[in-house]
Chains A and B, each alone.
Chain A
């Protein structure tokens, strides 16, 4: 079946460097995408979202890029800090309504001092 997936299960970066987390999706009908951060023992925390009529959206220290041609989504974190250590999930809302989210497998971001 169609699914949302991630390229790398673990990403290790030096503190202060930029991080890029990737996500591939296969459902061309999806029109809304979200990135969540999940710290150990906590629920997913909203980071940033993007709709399919956009290709880039920026937040505080984070940028999401959407390439619909190759069905690819990425999360860029600038000047990575120790507090950024977490598992990051991309998720898609296929129907755009209250249908629930389909999550990717997750990437564990590790910050090295």
Chain B
């Protein structure tokens, strides 16, 4: 089983709203990732969690706040987003170093 699940599939929010994206995997992977993908562009790395600790933050604005409550869950808290933050947000997980990353289906976010 190489399944990464993400909820919700679609999210529409205003610039003053607070919302959260959720990601879950039960493969025992200890590295989890958030990527942002704009239309017709490749995914871009946002955050990396390794053993539930934030190891990489690619200079992401503070209106995006990641959280890793346990080894199976990864959240992305959103607050005061801008319309240009509209994108597909992808979660991925990886079992160990130099192994492949498995992606979830993504959450399509629209900021009005």
Contact = CB atoms under 8 A, between A and B. Distances in A.
A112 B103 CA distance: 28
Nearest to B91: A43
A105 interface: yes
A43 B104 contact: yes
Contacts of B106: 42-43
Contacts of B43: 44, 89, 101, 103
Contacts, number: 62
Interface stretch (B60-68, B75-83, B92-100): B92-100
Nearest to B34: A100
Interface size class of B (residues with CB under 8 A): 20 to 34
Nearest to A93: B98
B48 A89 contact: no
Interface in A71-105: 89, 91, 93, 96-105
B45 A42 contact: no
B98 A89 contact: no
A106 B43 CA distance: 10
Nearest to A6: B42
A36 to B, nearest CB: 8
B68 to A, nearest CB: 13
A49 B101 CA distance: 10
B98 A97 contact: yes
A81 to B, nearest CB: 22
Contacts of B97: 96-98
Contacts of A99: 48, 56
Contacts of B50: 98
B103 A43 contact: yes
B45 A32 contact: no
Interface of A: 31-32, 34, 36, 41-46, 49, 51, 89, 91, 93, 96-106
